[in-house]
């Protein structure tokens, strides 16, 4: 892959100020591996604190609203994320799609808003277990890409795609390396269809029960340019072990 490996921690609805020490430890560890791009998406309440103190890692949001402002109680706009110090946001995570009934069109609208606010976006796609068992995994993922990704001149440089099979998130189940590579190759082909030559440079992350024990094998799969990490990103030790795996042989 031409791009630096990109390892992103998604803290989900976890973390109070007591976790700032873990964040500082992750940042120090990231500084030892400049060949790996490291980022953490904490809950909204911690973005500013992390952004003010991070030196080597990027800080992002876990979602944003499509509108710049307005009467949307409990929501956060992309401009607010940027103002707090975030440089990117995760969009279309399967938990948002399932629990909040987010559609592809809504994810695209959020991505367009985030780009307009100067953020990068990580757009998530992935199939359910029933869809995989029915042989529909590739078709489902490609349809999500078609409907969710923002388009336009220069957009590809600020887009990352994360493939997260829904049935693997938080379950400890992981698809085979061959299956991961097959879906990532299909995603790459679709990105090149959508963005032309620029699609070849977009990082494609794998997410779904990534941990220190399986990271090296998963990161070596075809077209895997990094990882979107959930539970294992909540402790510096386990998250930095994944960063180390991305750094490759010879790193300590």
Residues that are catalytic:
93, 164
The helix or strand, by DSSP H or E, that contains position 52, with its residue range, turns out to be: helix 47-53
What lies within 8 Å, CB to CB, of 172 at 6+ separation is 209
d(Cα 192, Cα 197) in Å, to the nearest integer? 6
The helix or strand, by DSSP H or E, that contains position 58, with its residue range, turns out to be: strand 58-61
């Amino acid at each position: 892959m031409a791009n630096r490996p990109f390892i992103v921690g998604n803290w989900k609805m976890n973390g109070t100020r007591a976790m700032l020490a873990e964040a500082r430890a992750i940042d120090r560890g990231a500084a030892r591996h400049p060949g790996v791009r490291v980022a953490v998406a904490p809950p909204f309440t911690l973005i500013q604190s992390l952004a003010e103190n991070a030196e080597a890692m990027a800080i992002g949001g876990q979602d944003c609203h499509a509108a710049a402002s307005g009467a949307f109680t409990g929501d956060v706009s992309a401009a607010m994320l940027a103002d707090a110090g975030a440089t990117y946001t995760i969009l279309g995570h399967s938990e948002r799609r399932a629990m909040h009934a987010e559609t592809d069109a809504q994810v695209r609208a959020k991505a367009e808003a985030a780009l307009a606010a100067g953020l990068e976006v990580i757009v998530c796609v992935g199939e359910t277990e029933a869809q995989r068992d029915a042989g529909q995994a590739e078709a489902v993922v490609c349809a999500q890409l078609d409907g969710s990704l923002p388009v336009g001149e220069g957009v590809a440089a600020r887009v990352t795609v994360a493939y997260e099979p829904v049935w693997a998130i938080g379950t400890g189940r992981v698809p085979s390396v061959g299956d991961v590579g097959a879906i990532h190759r299909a995603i790459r082909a679709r990105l090149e269809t959508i963005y032309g030559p620029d699609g070849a440079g977009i990082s494609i992350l794998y997410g779904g029960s990534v941990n220190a024990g399986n990271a090296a094998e998963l990161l070596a799969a075809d077209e895997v340019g990094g990882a979107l990490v959930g539970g294992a990103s909540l402790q510096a030790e386990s998250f930095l072990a994944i960063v180390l795996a991305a750094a490759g042989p010879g790193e300590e």
